[in-house]
Amino acid sequence: MAERRITGSFFDLQHVNLWDAMWWTDQCRFWKEESWRALIRDMHEIGIDTAICGATALWGRPLFPGYEKTVGRPLLMGCDDPLGACVDEADKLGMKMFYGVGFRGRCSQVRDYADMKPPWIEEWFTWNRALAEALVDRYGDRPSFAGLYMSYEIDFHDYQVELYEKLMGEYLRPAIGRVPVLASPGSLGEHSNPQKLPGQLERMGINILAPQDYGGRRRDVNEALELVRGNARELERFRSRIESVGVTLWSNCEVFDLEPTPDGRACCVPGPIERVRQQIEIQAPLVEKLICYQYQGIMNRRTPLVDIGHPDTDKLYRGYVEYLQ
C-alpha cells in the first residue's frame, strides 16, 4: 500500500509536443543550470523522492552531451547539460531517477506506432539501443540511477506488444542487462488480456508498471473520478497477475486538466485539488507508489528560478501542501 501522497513525478527537459506543454516547455529550453537544480530541489521539498525524465532525446537529438557519433548532436539548450544538472541535484538529495528512452529517433518517418514498419523500424530500434547504452554508460553508476523509462506509452494492443517485445528482447535487454525498466501505459483494461499480460510483461522486460489513472481526461470532476474509479477496478483485477511475475505496481496520477487551444488541440493545465485529493485516496491502497504527471509546469511552486506554468499552478501547489498537512 502506497502512502497517501505523491512520491514520484515526471519532468520534461523538452516535451515531445508543444501544445501539451505550452505553459512550460518553451521557457525551460532556455533555462540555465541553476533552474534545473532548483526544480529538482522543489520536487524533493514536497516529498517527491523519484524523478522520471520523460525523454532524454527528441528527434534524434540527445539532451545530454558526449555521444555525438552514436546518438546524435545534442539539442541546443540554455545550458550544456540540463540532464546532468538534474542528476547532480538528485544525487545530493538522495533521490532516484529514471531516464526516458523510446521517443523519436533519427528517422523523421517514425512519428507514431503506425509508422513503425520496415525500413524505418530497424533504424528506430538501433537508435534507441544506442541511446539506452549511452544513458547507462554515462549515469548508470550514479547514486540516483534507478533505471530506464519507456517513453512511448503502450496500451497493450497486439501490434504494440509485438514491437515492445522486439525492442526490449532483441535490442535493449542485451545492451542494458538487468537495469530496471518502468512503463506507464495509457490503460490496462481496454486492450489487456489478464491471461496474456504476465507473459507480455516478462517478454517486454518491464519491471515496474504505472498505469495512467485518466483523471485528467475530463473537465467535469465527477466524470473524471468515474474514470479513476474504473482504472482502480482494473488495478484490482490485474494486480495479482502483474505481481506474479515479479512486476511492481505503481499508479500514475494525472494532476492536470486538458484545456482546449484555439487550434483545436488541448494543453495541460492544473487540475482542481479537490479531484487530485480523491485520486490519491482511491488509488493509494492498491499500489506500492503513487507518481504523477507532473510537478513541473502543472503543480510547481512559482519562484524566480522556476517561473513556469499556468497561472493556477501555484493554486494547485498550495492546495496539495495543505492536503499533506
Domain containing 308 — which CATH number?
3.20.20.80
Confidence at residue 109, expressed as pLDDT on a 0 to 100 scale:
44
Tens-binned pLDDT, residue by residue, of the chain (325 aa): 778 999 999 999 998 888 889 999 999 999 999 999 999 999 999 999 999 999 999 878 899 999 999 999 999 999 999 999 999 999 999 999 999 986 655 544 445 555 556 666 777 788 889 999 999 999 999 999 999 998 877 777 666 777 788 888 888 888 898 999 999 988 675 556 777 888 888 888 899 999 999 999 888 899 999 999 998 998 888 888 889 999 999 999 999 999 988 888 899 999 999 999 999 999 999 999 999 999 999 999 999 999 999 999 999 999 999 999 9
Chain segment 204-231, per-residue pLDDT in tens: 889 999 999 999 988 889 999 999 999 8
Rounded distance, CA 224 to CA 186, Å? 15
**H helix intervals, 59-102:** 82-93
- Classify residue 217: in a domain, yes or no: yes
Rounded distance, CA 7 to CA 292, Å? 8
- Classify residue 3: in a domain, yes or no: no
Under 8 Å between Cβ of 95 and 40: yes
- Classify residue 66: in a domain, yes or no: yes
Cell digits of residue 104: 523519436
Chain segment 246-265, per-residue pLDDT in tens: 999 999 999 999 998 888 88
Rounded distance, CA 229 to CA 245, Å? 25
- Classify residue 1: in a domain, yes or no: no
Rounded distance, CA 307 to CA 208, Å? 32
Chain segment 68-81, per-residue pLDDT in tens: 999 999 999 999 99
Confidence at residue 162, expressed as pLDDT on a 0 to 100 scale:
78
Confidence at residue 108, expressed as pLDDT on a 0 to 100 scale:
46
Please give the residue range of the domain that contains residue 58: 8-324
CA distances from 50 to 55, 139, 200, 295 (A): 15, 15, 26, 12
Total number of domains constituting the chain: 1
Cell digits of residue 232: 482502480
Cell digits of residue 175: 545492451
Confidence at residue 116, expressed as pLDDT on a 0 to 100 scale:
58
